[in-house]
């Protein structure tokens, strides 16, 4: 008897349709030709595969290819490497050849073994959950069935490892931008964090699913939606913001030992940095970059980066935004009739979010509260 079209199946169908839309969006914007676009396209394709798998499981249709039911065989092991590869490509780093070895467990256990050796899982593993070999029922379980039940748990631990590495890569990406950029598109970075948090949320719900399944020894199909629906929501988040982004590539990290800057020259240039910024009001230039200031001082970017990071003990981003906040404070005091958005733009910020974040960072309060206190 065919499965009726209930709300859960309908949600998955909508998610599948939207996944196809996201993939088409990436291709239409020609973002799939960029390094990060290829990684994102791969990530979306895997999420689409998983949605189709859950729909097939919910409905009484047998695809006939065991590897299609990848969750049973560890398909979550590919999500982490794809996401980390996406973050690394955004930073301008090309993953080393050794990195692709992280795809080996997925390729071997999720694709090759199921394709080559067919259906070797037990009936209860397929219909009542992959953790059934660990319950108290006196079933005869082969070693490979025990192995894949263990692999079902391991795939989520594998994902966690890459989520931790991805968080570090995200932090490094922002730090590298701050060393060379005076303005950062914080909205895009925030969406990267949202995407990361979405994957963390999926992982948390997957753990809840595993705990419930392991300790209650009760499996119902709707329990899958503890992590199926969060992955669907992630697809929606990605489609509306991440798919068409052209990421800012951070400049190569400065190698101070090759900068050629002598320690005795540092004090002289430190004074010149502040003088040039103030006299020429460079902080009012939206999109000011490290190279722009280096040219004003007749220095190379490595020398200027060393001066700012090592001798001024700050980043280029914070250095320029400190001047912008000081300018904003003066404008608030002298022009109380102006809106905060106007003050933000007049002070060199390219959006209100960056203005508010910088103001809170340097003054410990919001610009609106500062305006009220100075009124």
Tokens of 52: 């189709």
Query: C-alpha angle 317/193/344, rounded to 5°?
Result: 40
Q: Which of 144, 169, 151 is nearest to 77 (CA)?
A: 151
In whole angstroms, give the CA distance from residue 243 to residue 370: 38
In whole angstroms, give the CA distance from residue 314 to residue 319: 7
Per-residue pLDDT tens listing for the chain (375 residues): 345 677 777 888 888 888 888 787 777 766 556 677 788 888 889 988 988 888 888 776 778 788 899 989 999 999 999 999 988 888 777 666 777 889 999 999 999 999 988 788 888 888 777 888 887 777 788 899 999 999 999 999 999 999 999 999 998 888 888 888 888 777 778 888 888 998 999 899 888 888 887 777 666 666 777 778 788 887 777 766 666 666 666 655 445 555 566 666 777 788 889 999 999 999 999 889 999 999 998 888 888 888 888 888 888 999 999 999 999 999 999 988 899 999 999 999 988 888 998 999 899 999 999 998 886
In the chain, the domains with their CATH numbers are 7-241 (1.20.1070.10), 263-374 (1.10.10.60)
User: Rg of the chain's alpha carbons, rounded to an integer?
Assistant: 26
List CB contacts of 50: < 8 A, sequence separation 6 or more: 70, 71, 75, 228, 231
> Cβ–Cβ contacts within 10 Å for residue 169, how many?
21
> Would you put residue 364 in left (φ > 0), alpha (ψ -120 to 50) or beta?
left
List CB contacts of 355: < 8 A, sequence separation 6 or more: 324, 328, 340, 343, 344, 347, 349, 367
In whole angstroms, give the CA distance from residue 249 to residue 241: 18
């Amino acid at each position: 008897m065919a499965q009726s079209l209930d709300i859960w199946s309908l949600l998955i169908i909508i998610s599948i349709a939207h996944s196809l839309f996201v993939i088409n969006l990436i291709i239409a914007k020609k973002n799939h030709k960029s390094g990060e676009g290829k990684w994102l396209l791969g990530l979306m394709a895997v999420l689409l595969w998983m949605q189709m798998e859950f729909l097939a499981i919910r409905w009484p249709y047998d695809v006939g290819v065991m590897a299609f039911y990848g969750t049973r065989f560890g398909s979550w092991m590919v999500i982490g490497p794809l996401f980390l590869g996406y973050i690394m490509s955004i930073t301008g780093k090309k993953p080393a050849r050794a990195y692709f070895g992280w795809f080996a467990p997925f390729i071997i256990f999720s694709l090759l073994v199921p394709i080559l050796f067919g259906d070797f899982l037990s009936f209860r593993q397929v219909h009542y959950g992959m953790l059934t070999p660990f319950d108290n029922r006196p079933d005869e379980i082969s070693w490979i069935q025990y192995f894949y039940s263990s692999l079902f748990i391991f795939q989520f631990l594998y994902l966690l490892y890459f989520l931790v590495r991805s968080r570090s890569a995200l932090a490094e990406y922002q730090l590298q931008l701050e060393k060379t950029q005076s303005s950062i598109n914080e909205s895009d970075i925030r969406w990267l964090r949202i995407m990361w948090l979405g994957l963390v949320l999926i992982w948390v719900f997957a753990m809840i699913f595993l705990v419930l399944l392991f300790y209650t020894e009760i499996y119902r199909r709707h329990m899958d939606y503890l992590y199926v629906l969060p992955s669907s929501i992630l697809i929606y988040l990605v489609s509306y913001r991440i798919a068409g982004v052209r990421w800012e590539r951070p400049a190569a990290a400065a190698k101070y030992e090759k900068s050629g800057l002598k320690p005795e020259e540092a004090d002289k240039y430190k004074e010149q940095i502040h003088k040039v910024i103030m006299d020429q009001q460079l902080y009012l230039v939206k999109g000011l970059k490290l190279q722009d200031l280096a040219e004003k001082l007749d220095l190379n970017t490595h020398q200027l980066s060393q001066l700012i990071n090592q001798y001024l003990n700050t980043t280029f981003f914070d250095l320029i935004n400190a001047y912008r906040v000081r300018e904003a404070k003066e404008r608030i005091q002298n022009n109380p009739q102006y809106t905060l958005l106007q003050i933000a733009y007049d002070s060199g910020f390219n959006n209100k979010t960056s203005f508010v974040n910088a103001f809170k960072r340097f003054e410990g309060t919001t610009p609106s509260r500062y305006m009220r206190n100075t009124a």
